[in-house]
Amino acid sequence: MEVLSLGVPHWKGHAGDRTDGPRSRVAIGTFDGVHLGHRQVLDGCDTVLTFDPHPLMVLEPQQVPSLLSDRRRKLRKLSALGIRRVAIVAFDRAWSRVPAEDFVESVVVGRLGAESVSVGQDFRFGAGGAGTTTTFDQYPGLSTRIIPLVTQGPAAEPISSTRIRRLIFDGDVETAAKLLGAPLALPAVVGDGGRLLISSDFARPAPGAYLGFVDSHACGLRVRADRTVAVTGLTPAGAFVEVTFVKRAP
């Protein structure tokens, strides 16, 4: 899978700026967790345009949600879904000032050669959030696919990153896994005594005992009140590991 890092466009895109070669089908979004709702947006697309860091880290740091995955895990999930190219906007203050029209012309059409765009129904973009799904309608030859919220469960509650975070905070990692399409897997640092340290940037399960994996090794996991993770049945090897929460321990 090809991964591109996009700098801020310094030109206004025109037809002559468009990339040569096959046209692309582009899904746009943050896609934190690449959950089942995201996968409806991604369906049929070959290219993903995403943002790292999360735009709220720049615009409203106090409002940044706990993340469900890091960049490496997100790319791994996207590749497994058949995405062949991921363009990453290194979001900063300069990017936040790019008008929605310039974003479409210079990046979506110009750099990525989009013939179609797939987004969620509430998608907003560009300076001041002025761009909406209707902004794409201004560009002849660019079709737009707008995906409504995907629901699951007897209450028909939307599948969203917010809902999944709430489940994780409550310790219901099994239901969270069903909505994510895979068990929750987070990066961790091995600290003193083999205890795992997971950054507060990520959604960490409620204190309690769980079954899961450290890297590919099955083990018990006990999340402590300080949200560090004690490991049973295994001595973690290496400075950095991946910890996967499968279910609550019986």
Whether residue 19 has pLDDT greater than 60: no
Question: pTM of the entire structure?
Answer: 0.90
| pLDDT class of 14 with cuts at 50, 70, 90 | very low
139 and 215 housed in the same domain: no
95 and 133 housed in the same domain: yes
110 and 201 housed in the same domain: no
Give the pLDDT confidence of 87-124 residue by residue, as tens digits: 999 999 999 999 999 999 999 999 999 999 999 998 99
Q: Please report, for the domain that includes residue 112, its CATH number.
A: 3.40.50.620
Whether residue 82 has pLDDT greater than 60: yes
226 and 130 housed in the same domain: no
Range of the domain at 130: 2-151
Give the pLDDT confidence of 165-174 residue by residue, as tens digits: 999 999 999 9
35 and 146 housed in the same domain: yes
48 falls within a domain: yes
pLDDT score, position 16: 39
157 falls within a domain: no
144 and 67 housed in the same domain: yes
3-state SS, the chain, equals CEEEEECCCCCCCCHHHCCCCCCEEEEECCCCCCCHHHHHHHCCCCEEEEECCCHHHHHCHHHCCCECCCHHHHHHHHHHCCCCEEEEECCCHHHHCCCHHHHHHHHHHHHCCEEEEEEECCCCECHHHCECHHHHHHCCCCEEEEECCCEECCCCEECCHHHHHHHHHCCCHHHHHHHHCCCEEEEEEECHHHCEECCCCECCCCCEEEEEEECCEEEEEEECCCCCEEEECCCCCCCEEEEEEEEECC
Domain count, the chain: 2
Whether residue 12 has pLDDT greater than 60: no
Give the pLDDT confidence of 187-215 residue by residue, as tens digits: 999 998 889 999 999 999 999 999 999 99
pLDDT score, position 192: 86
Whether residue 81 has pLDDT greater than 90: yes
